[in-house]
């Protein structure tokens, strides 16, 4: 028997809270999580008490037992957390939920993420401390402190060693901001970004300028997953999980920047497994949602997923080719982490579902296959591909 998730589980509902700038949410994180979950259940046409499982990532603080009590669940059958690597766990959480349903461990699983940075502190800021130990003792005293500094080094390696032009980073940022202008949910809606404004923006850490870096936000997002047979009886058009892959390459978690594939995004071994499981390839993808804490990781992820090579990245990853509706590779069509909201990448999964339902603010005509790749440049990445009913024929 072939072991696969292809077509066995579907996304039945998606939901989110209002998105806020960091520190501006009037509600605590737990309330935001509950609102997003309820919204996703409403979207699916499912009573929230039918939920019997939760999956999340990056040590989300909102424990399933507490959510189950607050939402009135009749029974909690599945409670799952993806270990480590921050946003690298987004697609993995979807895969874990789908696997639980396919294996009969649960019937209706919610994947969620909530952040209230005003309540718990800035998510992307270096922590202040009087002393450091371990790996930090060999980086912090020399100025290697923040996430931007850490990931900038890997991106610079790609630009210098492989000749990928910096224009690719600018194209990713401009595409995200372009799409946000049509998305009223986006924090950067009404704040367009021009190429001149990008070029004039301040350096954060070379090669990243201000607009290469994601936002810091408050909010929550959620997805409801059920078995494919059940999804067909629900109101929204089901969006099927075609494949999910997660993992890391040889010594990907080696400390102190000793990963042997230092110019990689972490998908070199993961993406081929995704395509094999899905039975499709990059040429079949109509729209891509790629986690962008920083633009460099998007460029590297698209290369490792096979959409282009180092040599032609500058041509393929050009602004005109990355925008909906007519670009060859529409990218981050909600505005993504850069311009919609940094909901730790789960918003990108919701946008993949919207595209295949035909309800995106930047709809790609006839979209049938959507990629959602999570957390480039971390030790454990994950990636997911979704499809419409037509893709299962």
Tell me how far the alpha carbon of residue 139 is from its chain's centroid.
28
Contact indicator for 46, 223 with CB cutoff of 8 Å: no
Average confidence score pLDDT of the chain: 96
Q: Is 291 a catalytic residue?
A: yes
% residues pLDDT > 70 (the chain):
99
C-alpha distances out from residue 253 to 22, 59, 94, 266, 375, Å:
30, 18, 22, 10, 14
In the predicted model, what is the mean pLDDT of residues 226-244?
96
Q: Is 208 a catalytic residue?
A: no
pLDDT at 123 over 80: no
pLDDT the model gives residue 207: 98
pLDDT the model gives residue 64: 97
pLDDT the model gives residue 183: 98
Q: What are phi and psi of 270, to 5 degrees?
A: -85, -45
Q: What is the 3-state secondary structure (H, E, C) of the chain?
A: CCCCCCCCEEEEEEEECCCEECCCCCCCHHHHHHHHHHHHHHHHCCCHHHCCEEEEECCCCCCHHHHHHHHCCCCCCEEEEECCCHHHHHHHHHHHHHHHHHCCCCCEEEEEEEECHHHHCCCCCCCCCCCCCHHHHHCHHHCCCCHHHHHHHHHHHHHHHHCCCCHHHHHHHHHHHHHHCCCCCCCCCCCCCCHHHHHHCCEEECCEEHHHECCCEEEEEEEEEEEHHHHCCCCCCCEEEEEEEEECCCCCCCCCCCCCCCCCCCCCCHHHHHHHHHCCCHHHCCEEEECCCEHHHHHHHHHHCCCCCCCCHHHHCCHHHHCCCCCCCCECCCCHHHHCCCCCCHHHHHHHHHHHHCCCCCCCCCCCEEEEEECCCCCCEEEEEEECHHHHC
Rg (CA), the chain: 20
Has this prediction a pTM greater than 0.95?
yes
- Catalytic pick from 57, 208, 342, 386? 342
pLDDT the model gives residue 81: 97
- Catalytic pick from 208, 211, 240, 291? 291
pLDDT the model gives residue 1: 62
pLDDT at 95 over 90: yes
- The mean-pLDDT minimum among 47-51, 128-132, 320-324 falls in 128-132
pLDDT the model gives residue 126: 72
Contact indicator for 85, 31 with CB cutoff of 8 Å: no
pLDDT the model gives residue 256: 84
pLDDT the model gives residue 119: 83
CA pair distance 245, 268, nearest whole angstrom: 12
In the predicted model, what is the mean pLDDT of residues 288-317?
98
pLDDT at 200 over 70: yes
């Amino acid at each position: 028997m072939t072991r696969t998730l292809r077509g066995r589980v579907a996304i039945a509902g998606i939901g989110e809270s209002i998105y806020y700038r960091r520190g501006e949410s009037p509600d605590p994180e737990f309330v935001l999580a509950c609102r997003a979950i309820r919204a996703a259940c409403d979207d699916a046409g499912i009573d929230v008490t039918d939920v019997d499982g939760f999956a999340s990532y990056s040590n989300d603080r909102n424990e399933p037992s507490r959510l189950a009590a607050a939402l009135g669940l009749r029974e909690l059958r599945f409670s799952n957390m993806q270990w480590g690597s921050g946003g690298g766990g987004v697609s993995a959480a979807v895969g874990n939920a789908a696997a639980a349903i396919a294996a009969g461990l649960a019937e209706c699983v919610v994947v969620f993420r909530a952040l209230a940075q005003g309540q718990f502190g800035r998510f992307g800021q270096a922590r202040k401390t009087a002393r450091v130990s371990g790996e930090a003792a060999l980086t912090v005293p020399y100025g290697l402190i923040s996430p931007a500094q850490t990931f900038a080094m890997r991106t610079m390696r790609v630009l210098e060693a492989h000749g990928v032009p910096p224009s690719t980073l600018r194209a990713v940022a401009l595409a995200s901001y372009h799409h946000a202008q049509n998305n009223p949910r986006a924090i950067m809606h009404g704040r367009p970004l021009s190429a001149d404004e990008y070029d004039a923006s301040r350096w954060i850490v070379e090669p990243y300028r201000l607009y290469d870096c994601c936002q810091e936000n408050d909010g929550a997002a959620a997805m409801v997953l059920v078995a494919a047979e059940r999804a067909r009886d629900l109101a929204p058009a089901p969006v099927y999980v075609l494949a999910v892959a997660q993992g890391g390459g040889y010594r990907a978690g080696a400390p102190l920047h000793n990963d042997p594939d230092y110019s990689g995004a972490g998908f070199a071994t993961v993406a081929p497994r995704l395509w094999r499981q899905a039975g499709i390839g990059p040429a079949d993808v109509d729209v891509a949602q790629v986690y962008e804490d920083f633009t460099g990781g998007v460029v590297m992820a698209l290369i490792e997923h096979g959409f282009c090579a180092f040599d032609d990245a500058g041509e393929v990853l050009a602004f005109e080719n990355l925008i909906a509706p007519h670009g060859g590779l529409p990218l981050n069509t909600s505005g993504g982490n850069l311009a919609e909201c940094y909901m730790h990448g789960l918003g990108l999964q919701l946008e993949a579902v919207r595209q295949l339902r035909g309800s995106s603010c930047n709809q790609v005509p006839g979209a049938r296959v959507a990629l959602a790749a999570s957390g480039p440049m971390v030790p454990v990445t994950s990636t997911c591909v979704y499809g419409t009913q037509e893709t299962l024929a």
